[in-house]
Structure 1
Amino acid sequence: METALWYMLAGARGGPNRIRIVRALRERPRNANQLAEDLGLDYTTIRYHLDVLMDHDVVRNSGGGYGTVYLLTDRIERNWTTVESVIDTLEDA
């Protein structure tokens, strides 16, 4: 899990946006449109990053269709200290 987090959040070009999405979802579950509005990003950009995060078991969805809500997986919640470590390392760089 740690290697995957480092890749998704630090090693990939979209890492900074994924960090913003993960932090926002930690505050509260949201749908893709809410994330786009709250983070000032294009809806398609949010959808792309949500798909990547879902593929790596960082987020999951609840419901279906346009109002699908996204939230962090239990696995990422259990590994939140690793997420914070990655974020802290990037912010200190």
Structure 2
Amino acid sequence: MSPVRRRYFFSGHVQGVGFRATCRHLAGGFEVVGSVRNLPDGRVEMLVEGTPAELDRLLEAIGDEMGGFIRETSVHDEPTGHPALEGFSIRF
């Protein structure tokens, strides 16, 4: 199955609780590439690319670990490829 790219926005009490580090750690267990970063408005943004099944499993794992801090998650599909994503990192 072809990879897709999605941009997730998590809101709630998602900054200052290890959310980005948890996302990076969990992403290492899946065949995904991307990044995660804090936004000035208090949300966390995760840009990730992989098969739809891998992205769904990653999102489920994040919910299992950090669900108590997440109030809302929104997702936007994006075109793959530009810019190219490698690894999975925390952006500052």
TM-score calculated relative to the size of structure 2: 0.33
Q: Which has the higher contact order (CA 8 A, sep 6+)?
A: 2
TM-score calculated relative to the size of structure 1: 0.33
Counting helix residues as a fraction of each chain, which structure ranks higher? 1
Counting strand residues as a fraction of each chain, which structure ranks higher? 2
